[in-house]
Amino acid sequence: MNEPVLVLNGNFEPLHVCSTRRAVGLIMVGKAEIVENGRGLIRTVGAGFPRPSVIRLRYLIHRPRPRVKLSKHEIFRRDGYRCQYCGEEQARLTVDHIVPRHSGGSHSWENLVTACPACNRRKGHHALPEVHMHLLRQPCEPMPSARYLYGRQAQQYREWARYLEGW
């Protein structure tokens, strides 16, 4: 009952991922309908209910565009789990401020990059020109496309792929 279910807006835009329990509740009260059922049945004493994989709300929700939350995990994901100074892919990575905080650098998408421990120690609290280092690519906030937000789960649940394509 805790498997993820993709929730689509009335216009088939991906909105959210919820648990099977929540999805069945939305279906039972008439707020949603099943679009994909690739998981069999939920059996009770008196009946059996389809176990949804994708549901669609019966109404359209107007909401602001989502944004990717700034976190260590999302910075690593944006940078492809590679050091942005030397390009090395490592298991142990750190987050580095391009312009150090004590020099007025902000804690933002544009000032944070993934760095290996060696490059982070080499750069230290200096600016990039002082230590003759450069970035492989300029950091920016990732676009919150449906593929970016739900892509990892879409690899596991193949039936979600066609609902994530155009968004």
Q: What mean pLDDT is reported for the chain? A: 89
The CATH architecture annotation of domain 72-131 reads Orthogonal Bundle (1.10)
In whole angstroms, what is the distance from residue 162 CA to residue 68 CA? 22
Q: Which residues pair with 18 in a beta bridge?
A: 5
pLDDT tens per residue across span 109-165 = 999 999 999 999 999 989 899 999 999 999 999 988 877 787 777 777 878 888 887
Cβ distance 83 to 122 under 8 Å?
no
Q: Where are the domains of the chain?
A: 4-65+144-164, 72-131
